Copies of this chain bind each other. A is one copy, B any other.
Amino acid sequence: MLYADFMSSTLPPFPTPQEPVEEKPVLLELGTGTDESGLRADAARNRARLLDAAARLVAEHGAAGVTMEAVAAAAQVGKGTVFRRFGDRTGLLTALLDHSERKFQASFLSGPAPLGPGAPPVDRLRAFGCAALRRAADDLELQLAAEPCPDRRFVLPPRQLRYRHVVMLLRQAVPDADCELLAQTLMSYLEPALIFHLTRQCHMPMERLQAGWYDLVARVTGTAGPC
């Protein structure tokens, strides 16, 4: 199934008021070039300036300082341009995370085992969680700020990609289970908001979260335990 088919058959029609022009990919598409493909020269230039300005603002004032107007001003660009390019604030923040997300995607899609192909599914699952935890822990603030409203949270390409990956691994590990639901459960453990709560508000060390992931994978897949 093509990506577009999958999305359009899954999503109800979203009435996007001022259709953003790109930012649909975020799905790993090796070899097709950068995000600026198909953009007019000035548009590509402005896009780069905007991302640059946004990153600068994050570095200086944190994610909260990333105001659409501030970004526009810092990039010496009109406000409307920001929205045309990225759709909304969430889109801009997501674009900032896009680079590292793609690296992560590449590593579990085609990187070295055990994260990538080659290892047994349970091992890959364990590795996946660790990598996801690490990724969530770095720039947690940005991830939180980029969290979309509830009704889009589960249908964004990066999430869908991760989800399908986990479903695939689960199908291999526990063929008779409801792998869709189990996958959602596992993914929830890696949710930035939860990581934030556990580490920043409950002061749990990352080692504990990681051990918790191993334990969870073991319980869900029926591995190990006093059997």
Q: How large is the interface on A (under 10, 10 to 19, 20 to 34, 35 or more residues)?
A: 35 or more
A208 at the interface (CB under 8 A from B): yes
Look across to chain B and name the residue whose beta carbon is closest to the beta carbon of A193.
Answer: B150
Task: Please tell me if the beta carbons of A150 and B196 are within 8 angstroms of each other in the complex.
Answer: yes
- Interface digits, A175-186 against B, CB 8 Å rule (1 contact, 0 not)? 001101110110
- Interface digits, A194-206 against B, CB 8 Å rule (1 contact, 0 not)? 1011101110000
Bound complex: CA A189 to CA B215 (Å): 17
**Most chain B beta-carbon neighbours within 10 Å: one of A153, A181, A192:** A181
- Interface digits, A203-227 against B, CB 8 Å rule (1 contact, 0 not)? 0000011011001100110100111
- Interface digits, A2-26 against B, CB 8 Å rule (1 contact, 0 not)? 0000000011100000000000000
- Interface digits, A151-188 against B, CB 8 Å rule (1 contact, 0 not)? 10111000000000000000000000110111011001
Task: Please tell me if the beta carbons of B11 and A177 are within 8 angstroms of each other in the complex.
Answer: no
Bound complex: CA A198 to CA B166 (Å): 16
Known: A181-B212, A188-B188, A188-B194. A10 touches B150 (CB 8 A): no
Look across to chain B and name the residue whose beta carbon is closest to the beta carbon of A213.
Answer: B181
Task: Please tell me if the beta carbons of A154 and B193 are within 8 angstroms of each other in the complex.
Answer: yes
Residues of B within 8 A of A200 (CB): 12
A144 at the interface (CB under 8 A from B): yes
Residues of B within 8 A of A196 (CB): 150-151
Bound complex: CA A201 to CA B215 (Å): 30
Which parts of A27-74 form the interface with B (CB within 8 Å)?
none
Instruction: For residue A142, give the distance in angstroms from its CB to the closest CB of chain B.
Output: 12
Task: Please tell me if the beta carbons of A150 and B151 are within 8 angstroms of each other in the complex.
Answer: no
Q: List 5 A-B contacts (CB under 8 A).
A: A12-B201, A144-B151, A178-B212, A181-B208, A181-B215
A contact residues vs B (CB 8 Å cutoff): 10-12, 144, 147, 150-151, 153-155, 177-178, 180-182, 184-185, 188-189, 191-194, 196-198, 200-202, 208-209, 211-212, 215-216, 219-220, 222, 225-227
